[in-house]
Every structure is written in C-alpha cells, then in structure tokens.
Structure 1
Amino acid sequence: MSNGIGIVGAGMIGAAHAFGYRNHLSKFASRLPGLNLTAVADPNATLARQLAQSFGFSRTVSDWREVVSDPEIGVISVALPNFLHVDAVEAALAAGKHVLCEKPLALSASQARRLYEQGKSSSVCAATVFNYRRIPAVTEIRNMISAGELGEIVNILVQFQCEYAADPQLPHSWRYERNRAGPGALLDIGTHAIDTARFLCGEVSEVAGAVSTISIKERFLAACSTVGHNRVELSSERRPVDNDDVMSALLRFDSGAQGLFSTSRVAIGMGNTLSFEVFGTKATARFSTQSINQYQIARFDGSGQTPFATVFNRPSSPNVGSMLPVPFDGVAVGYAEVFGFMIHDFLNAIAEGRPISDGTLLDGLRAAEVLDAIQASADNGGPVTVERSPV
C-alpha cells in the first residue's frame, strides 16, 4: 500500500491532524518508507490550499472521494462534519485505507456498530480520535486506578464545558441541527467526557437519569461561508436550534461506581475544558485541562482534612520522556502536542501491522452506546440501560 497521507476536511480540526502528521512524519521514515503529506480535500478551495501550504501537503482536491480513491494515498484522516463521518470511513475501509476518524465516530450507536463490524473484518488500522487519553496526567491517573492506588472507585464527576456557542450572534450551522449533527453538546464534545469516564472507570451500565437544555433556541443564518466557530456577517433569516446546548446525566458503571456527567457548549468563561474528579476508597485524583501539565491527588491520611498534593509533568510521566523534545520537569504540554501523540500512536500501529490499542473503533462504538442512552433518558425522563453490542 502507498504511504501517502490524505486529510479530508480542512477546517480547524483538520489543521490539528496536519500538525500532528508533520511533527511525527520523520520518526517513521525507515519503518514506513515513502510516508508523505499528499493531499487535502475540501470543497472550500481557499481553505484547502491554506492548510496544504501551511503544513506541506503536495496538492488539494475538492471532494473527499478523490482522496479515498487515490492509489498514492494509504493513510486517511477524516475531519469532516459529524454527519459525513460514516460515509467517509465506510468508503476508506472499503478501499483498504488506514483511517483515523474524528469524534464522534457516528451520529448513533447503530451507525457506529456498522463501522466497527466493517473495521473488524478489515486488515487495515482504523481508529477514533480520543486524544485526551494521551494527556500525561490523564494516563497517569488511569494507571494509578488500574494499580489500585485509589482503592475501589466510588464515583466520578466528569465534565466537558465549552464557550464556543455562548454568543447568540454565532451563525446557525449544521452543528445546531439534530438530523445532521445528532445531539448537540452531548455528541460534539460530551463524547470526550464519556470516553474519559470509560478510560478511567470502565464500562457504563446504566443512565439513571438525564436532562437537557436548549438555551439559545434560534440563530441567524450566515450571510457568507463560515468555518468552525467563526463569527461572520449574518443574514436576516433565522433557523431553530433543535439539539442540546447543555446535557447532564447520572451514570452507573459495571464496577458499581456512579458518575455525574455534564457537558455544555454555552459555558461562559470555560473556553474548552475537560475536567474530572475520581473518588476512591484510598485516594481522590482530580484534573482539568485548564492546568494540563499537572494533576492533584489526596491520599487518605485519617486526619479528616486530607490535603491535595500537586503532581507536575516529569520525564517519567506517560509520553513525556519519549515524545517531547524537552522532557524535563514541569515543561508544558499543549493541546497540539497531545493531539500529535494520537497521530504517533496511529502511525506506530500501522508500522507494526497491528490494531491501535487506545481509540479503537470499539471505543467509538462504546461511547456512542452511552451517548444514545443519555439522549434516550433525557427524551423519556427515566432510567435507560446501556445496550452494548457483543464483540
């Protein structure tokens, strides 16, 4: 198979993929001979050209299908709007391409199941972007939980809070239409929080209850083309918003632990923040991407006022010593670098001819099953069992 790399979707997240490939390309020169940045696909020619020029891709095309059918391309990143993920991944797998799909893998568990089954029967590497698993602090907390250092996990509070849709003058787009985006904040960013909860605490068995809110009930259409969350001139035409701005849920895990989950795209002051607190019988660990280079842990000491200690990145932290150019205590790790860790893991799995271990299509499916149950609970007002497909 050719080792050309193609990115389909030249928006803001396509740039994160491009940055990751460019930064890790040289590490695979001997293991994946000919690996190169080949093509960017986007119907917005200007956007595609800007991305290609910024990161060194050889050419641009207007249709993602041209990337899938290109014999020079063997590795594809899908960074399209949510409602196009399934079509693009199905086509890439059918064409025998290695494929890395943005979250959410699909709009529903039934769609995600189709992709999982197709990927299972394929010999290529297929993955879902769950880049927050690669944050050194998050991985280290997971390792401590697995080693029993926190004791039996009692409960987790997990949130993904964003401000990107708080401005009512932000134009209407596919993100605010349930038939194209699926659930709103729940699917678009809550996917990361649910995956993090699973990564730390195992499988979710039940959604005991959920509530949703649409706080901005309609938006103006843009008067011109727009990308991502950009603010542009608005037309006088309004469209309703029919998916959630805020979603919260009470979860039960297979282990017996419980969880409080909340996600919002209208959380003023929160920027783009994943945070969690995990409470065990021996210790509590907490983390926020607002302080991405550290986590805090309180180990029970019987005093009644157990203090938290702050643990910073250090060379022995997961990914730090092997992945950063400056692997010293306290050196900052940013979003783009963590995203690059995901790209590195993907390329490493391809080079070794094996499935990726973190961020599999099964992970994408399992997250989708929980998200479906949360949405169903919010719709019917009662508890919903998470229906997990056999594997």
Structure 2
Amino acid sequence: MTSIGVGLIGTGYMGKCHALAWNGVGPVFGTGRRPRLVHLAEASADLAARRAAEFGFERATGDWREVVDDPEVEVVSITTPNALHAEMALAALAAGKHVWCEKPMATTLVDAERMVAAARAAGRVAVLGYNYIQNPLIRHIGRLLAEGAIGAVSHVRFEMDEDFMADPEAPFGWKSEAASGYGALDDFGVHPLSLMHVLFGGVVRVMAQLAKPYPDRPLPEGGRRAVETFDIASVLMELRNGATGIMALNRAARGRKNRLAMQVFGSRGAIAYDQERMNEFQFFTASGDAADQGFRTVLSAPAHPPYDRFVPAPGHGLGFNDLKLIECHELLEAIAGRPAHIIDFAAGLGIERAVHAMARSHSEASWSYV
C-alpha cells in the first residue's frame, strides 16, 4: 500500500482536527493511500516542534512556505485564520499540491475566484472543510429529499447559533477585525449554506440584515477598539429548487454551543435536524391514520453509511471529529479519481458568492442576486 505525504499549516483547534483525521483515516476506512505525516508549520519553530511531536509529524518549521515547497508533501491542510487562506492555498497549488482548506474559502470574492482558477490550472484536488455535510444523517436526509419522501419542498429554515462572542467584555480578537471577513456570515454562516448546497442546490437571491450587538471590545493593553464585523445576521432567501427560506445566524447567542438547526417543509411531510443533537433527526409524513401522525426520531445507525465504519451498533453516535475524518476520506477518494462527497473550490465559490450577496443586500437594503 502506497503512502501520500501530508503537510499541515496551523495547529489550533481545526489544525488538531485535521491531524486527528489524517492519523485515523487509514484504520477506519482501511483502503487507499495511507497518509504519511511529513511536515508541520506554526507561527514559531518552537511551537511547531512541540505540535509535530504531539501530532506525529516528521518535520516542523516556523515558516509555512517550507511545507508548501517540501517535495515529499503531496497534500496540504490549511487551518490558519481566515485572512491567510487565499495566500497559502494559491502557493500550495502553484507548487503542485492538493489542498484541504478550512472554511471560509477567502475573505474577498476576488481571492476566492483566484483560488478556483489556480486549482483548475494546477489540475489538483482542492476542497473546503465543510464537515457537517459529511454527517451520515445529513446524507440520509439528502436521499429522503431526492426520493420525494416529504413531497415537494416549499420552505426551509436554518439557524446557526453559538455563544463564543456573547460576552461584551471579551477582548478584541481577529474575529472582530474587518480583515477576517464580514463576521457571522462567513465565519460560520457558510456551514448552513453548505447544507443548502448539497440538499437544495444553493441560493438564488437574498435579503439580509446584519447587526453588531456590541459596538466595541476591550484591548489587552487597555482602551477599547470598535468592532468591525457583524455577529448577527438575518436572511430571507430563495433557493435554487424554488423554495423560500430563512437563515438566522448569531455568534453572541447565550447558551447555544453549536446549534445548526434545519427545518424542511414539504407537501407530504417535514424533516427537522439540530447539530447539537447530531445523531438524530425528526421525520414526519402525512400518511396513515391522522390520530397516529407525529414526528418520529431516527437515530444514527450502521444503515446510514459510513456510520458503520466507526460503530457496529445503532444509537451509539458519532462526534465532530468523526465528521472531519469522513471528510478526509472523501478528499483521498477525490485525489484517487473516484467519486467523492466534497465541496471543492468551484462549488465553494457559489457559497462565497452567496455570502457577498448577503453583505451587498444589507449595504443596499434590497434583494440581491447571488
């Protein structure tokens, strides 16, 4: 069995997720080229050396370009802050590497377009880190919708709420800088947009309102700095399949940890899902005796592949990092030239265009086409 050389740039929360996925994909899926963890980069050589030892990489560096230029690295994971994605992805593709880049794709539409062009010119696989589409239950929901299990879909509602920006006295950080993007829209609103892409084909037009719950935040050295991004977004949408939709985003939602909630209403039924309870969804069909009708809970099980690769029994459940591992496997399938359940740079550009259309809608106080 041959190996594939892996480089990792960034070792924070998502960097560790990628490292766990690269380490686990072979034992879980058992086939294909096995990852060889070759080169890791961090902001300093000392931190890189510590993380390389922890994650199992052969070499470490304080200069990310050394990872990109390493001839033994064939695929590069990019898990750095948003504003750095474009430069690193473009450099990796120019060096002939495959790329696995965390979302959002870029902080400007121009950079996202450049990334798509670079991937096409290089002839390399370039995918984005939309791991929630990998949930076996989301895949099953997709199959139910495709089979018409709830009839024609007329309306969808998406919510994504977390509370990591809920404290008004939390220090000013890069997520509040304009250089990081718009805020809730591209920091995590791209996740529900990724579900809309795989389930409904994406968004056609939008009407958005963005808000800043706190105008400024304290600086570590004293004083305060104005917040430059929007932590709240409310969006009306028209989907490509003709359905209407609503998306509500809030990074300052007290009590919510990872609420990516979805309701889908059709002519013969409905489906409801919440990422905080990621191993179940609610399924309603308007069939049979009306006295017996109601939502029923479907638990994740081996009947929902690739759940069966992790657990042989239903109801035991998967976790966030398992979704990342599935995503890693799909990336390797794409590199091998096989069909893969991914959002590549070309598809990701559609999500980026939706984000920028929402920002434009807010600025112009009007409907905006994607």
Q: So what's the TM-score if we normalise by structure 1?
A: 0.89
CA distance in 1, matches of 2:153, 2:360: 26
Q: Which amino acid aligns with 1:151?
A: G
CA distance in 2, matches of 1:169, 1:48: 31
2:33 is aligned to 32
Select the residue among 316, 322, 333 that pairs with 2:303: 316
Alignment of structure 1 residues 48-63 onto 2, 5 Å:
48-63=48-63
**Displacement of 1:146 after TM fit?**
1.1
2:127 is aligned to 127
CA distance in 2, matches of 1:197, 1:4: 33
CA distance in 2, matches of 1:2, 1:23: 14
8 A Cα contact 1:126 1:355, kept in partner = no
**Displacement of 1:99 after TM fit?**
0.6
Q: Which runs of 5+ in 2 are unaligned?
A: none
CA distance in 2, matches of 1:69, 1:2: 19
CA distance in 1, matches of 2:250, 2:112: 23
CA distance in 2, matches of 1:303, 1:121: 57
SS across alignment from 1:124 = coil
CA distance in 1, matches of 2:156, 2:28: 37
2:349 is aligned to 365
CA distance in 2, matches of 1:46, 1:166: 33
Q: Which amino acid aligns with 2:229?
A: N
**Displacement of 1:356 after TM fit?**
4.4
Q: Which amino acid aligns with 2:214?
A: I
**Displacement of 1:206 after TM fit?**
0.7
2:210 is aligned to 212
Q: Which amino acid aligns with 1:137?
A: L
CA distance in 1, matches of 2:280, 2:31: 35
Residue 331 in 1 paired to residue 332 in 2?
A: no
Q: Which amino acid aligns with 1:101?
A: C
CA distance in 2, matches of 1:255, 1:343: 29
Select the residue among 242, 253, 256 that pairs with 1:256: 242
8 A Cα contact 1:127 1:356, kept in partner = no
1:114 is aligned to 114
**Displacement of 1:43 after TM fit?**
0.9
1:182 is aligned to 181
CA gap of 1:41–1:355, structure 2 versus 1, over 3 A, is farther
Q: Which amino acid aligns with 1:339?
A: K
8 A Cα contact 1:210 1:375, kept in partner = yes
Deviations 1:114-155 (A, max 9, x none): 211221232221111110001111111111111111211111
Q: RMSD across aligned C-alpha pairs, in angstroms?
A: 2.0
CA distance in 1, matches of 2:252, 2:95: 40
8 A Cα contact 2:49 2:61, kept in partner = no
Q: Which amino acid aligns with 2:48?
A: A
CA distance in 2, matches of 1:143, 1:50: 44
SS across alignment from 2:248 = strand
SS across alignment from 1:83 = helix
8 A Cα contact 2:78 2:101, kept in partner = yes
Residue 140 in 1 paired to residue 124 in 2?
A: no
SS across alignment from 1:295 = strand
8 A Cα contact 2:3 2:36, kept in partner = no
SS across alignment from 1:4 = strand
CA distance in 2, matches of 1:359, 1:101: 11
SS across alignment from 1:18 = helix
Residue 385 in 1 paired to residue 369 in 2?
A: yes
Q: Which runs of 5+ in 1 are unaligned?
A: 222-233, 387-391
CA distance in 1, matches of 2:33, 2:23: 14
Q: Which amino acid aligns with 2:294?
A: P
**Displacement of 1:27 after TM fit?**
6.4
CA distance in 1, matches of 2:302, 2:157: 28
1:229 is aligned to none
8 A Cα contact 2:193 2:202, kept in partner = no
Deviations 1:18-63 (A, max 9, x none): 1100111456887426x31112211144543343222211221112
8 A Cα contact 2:259 2:275, kept in partner = yes
Deviations 1:173-230 (A, max 9, x none): 221111x1110011100010111122222221111x2111101211123xxxxxxxxx
**Displacement of 1:357 after TM fit?**
4.0
CA gap of 1:46–1:298, structure 2 versus 1, over 3 A, is farther
2:263 is aligned to 277
Residue 10 in 1 paired to residue 11 in 2?
A: yes
**Displacement of 1:335 after TM fit?**
0.3
How many equivalent residue pairs? 368
Q: Which amino acid aligns with 1:327?
A: P
CA distance in 1, matches of 2:275, 2:341: 23
Q: Which amino acid aligns with 1:200?
A: L
Alignment of structure 1 residues 280-319 onto 2, 5 Å:
280-301=266-287, 303=290, 306-319=293-306
**Displacement of 1:291 after TM fit?**
0.9
1:225 is aligned to none
